[in-house]
Chain A
Amino acid sequence: MTLPSRLLVRVVGRLSNIWHSRAQIVARDEPYRLRHVRDHLEALQGALDRLDKARGLGLELILPTLRLEILGHLDRSRLAGSEAKESMLRPGVPAPGPGTFLDELRQIEDDFDDLSIDWKSKCIRAGTEPITLQDIYLGPFAIQFHWERLLHQPGSDCFDIVALDPHPAAANDRVSHPHVKDRSLCAGDASVPIRKALEHGRLADAFCLVRSVLEHYNPGSPHIALDEWEGTACHDCGRNVSEDERWCCEGCGCDFCDDCMGNCACCDATRCHGCLMRCDACEDPCCARCLESCSGSGQECCRHCRVSCVRCGATVARDDRAVAGLCPSCQPTPTLEHILSEKTHDPDLEPARPASP
């Protein structure tokens, strides 16, 4: 759709004013780039401290996550350093003239399906084609450039990415794209080019760069990976579950849904059904830590069902321990008189008494 000329002229005027104001701000406030570097370096230092601490405590499982976090901080620090260096070496960029913005808007009109102006939200909006990444349909997106944000900081933060036919991640409906959360694009490698394009008033290039991020998937750093987009499959029943519904079994480390998890009757630890075993004596579900093999009988019993023989100390199931706290091995061998005596008093062996008259 072509913008009417009057509207086009009005937008061009607005954009010229914004870029002119921006140029004045930059002239007064260039040190912010150096602060940006310092902020990233502080964040990197914090992540390094956490890595050292985790290593010291032997927390092996968290190390890969911390390394990824440090890699992210290194990338951002490098980009921030590059920007700061460039800003110190180059003078401020003069504001482009109205003719430039007219050309930029016409180019956006040519490059995108639709271009519209939202005066209420103070943004320029253009739509992408429906986007599918690795067979996951994400739908079309509206790329919204909010011109007043340019006054604070030119960059991908000036853009909102709005899903027009939302297919968010099952685990988090705020993530509409692997690199978009809460409408905010994490531009990654496009951060600097987008910033540079906006600084120079190359609005069409900035829109194209945003689209290039949306149409590509970086499996190394998504908000939610595409292979988990539909949710995490329960390791037992296979049902997809969101992050809130997902349980991690402390025994095997796999993910399960609520229905496929249980608790140890002894220590209350959360385990999947495969990691819970029945006590041979009481048949309650127990984790491997709470079950122990009885030395006397070989049965797997929980601590409630295990007792020690008072003579030899062997553990036996409570039911197997006979009178006087002795295990079957320690019980005295019955004598012939004892057996006969027991048989004499055995009601099953006694003759039936005649019924009373």
Chain B
Amino acid sequence: MRILFINNHGGGFADHIEVADATTVAALFEERLPDCRAEDFLIRVNRQPASADQVLQPGDRVSMTPTKIEGAR
């Protein structure tokens, strides 16, 4: 199935991607951001806070935004 995935980490891109049916939020996070910790991210599905075991639906809008980002001077 196809979802809109918004990754606000690193390059900060938004794109439509293919994911397997019955993919959960936790599984998508693990697949897309394997070196990151979920607790350091604000994860939303269709603009609403999402639980780790929430199953994604076709056309969902999933955004992952880091809550700890290093600024500079």
Chain B 18-73 residues near chain A, CB threshold 8 A: 42, 47, 63, 65-73
Chain B CB count within 10 A is highest, among A75, A205, A215, for A205
How many residues on the B side are at the interface (Cβ–Cβ under 8 A)? Answer: 20
Given known pairs A205-B63, A208-B65, the reply for A196 and B14 (CB within 8 Å) is: yes
B41 to chain A, nearest CB (A): 10
By the criterion CB–CB under 8 Å, are A193 and B70 in contact? no
Number of CB contacts from chain A to chain B under 8 A = 92
In this complex, what residue of B is CB-closest to A208?
B65
By the criterion CB–CB under 8 Å, are B11 and A86 in contact? yes
By the criterion CB–CB under 8 Å, are A195 and B12 in contact? yes
- Report if B9 contacts A (CB, 8 A): yes
Interface size class of A (residues with CB under 8 A): 35 or more
Q: Which residues of B contact A82 (CB under 8 A)?
A: 11
Q: Which residues of A contact B14 (CB under 8 A)?
A: 196, 200, 202
A202's contact among B6, B66, B71, by CB below 8 Å, is which? B6
Given known pairs A197-B12, A205-B63, the reply for A190 and B71 (CB within 8 Å) is: yes
The stretch among A3-11, A45-53, A217-225, A251-259 that forms the contact with chain B is A217-225
**Residue contacts A-B, CB under 8 angstroms, 29 given:** A75-B72, A178-B73, A188-B69, A189-B69, A189-B70, A189-B72, A192-B10, A192-B12, A193-B8, A193-B10, A193-B69, A194-B12, A196-B12, A196-B14, A197-B12, A202-B63, A205-B6, A205-B65, A208-B8, A208-B42, A208-B65, A209-B66, A213-B69, A213-B70, A216-B67, A218-B70, A218-B72, A221-B73, A222-B71
Chain A residues near B (Cβ < 8 Å): 72, 75, 82, 86, 103, 107, 178-179, 181, 185-190, 192-197, 200, 202, 204-205, 208-209, 212-216, 218, 220-223
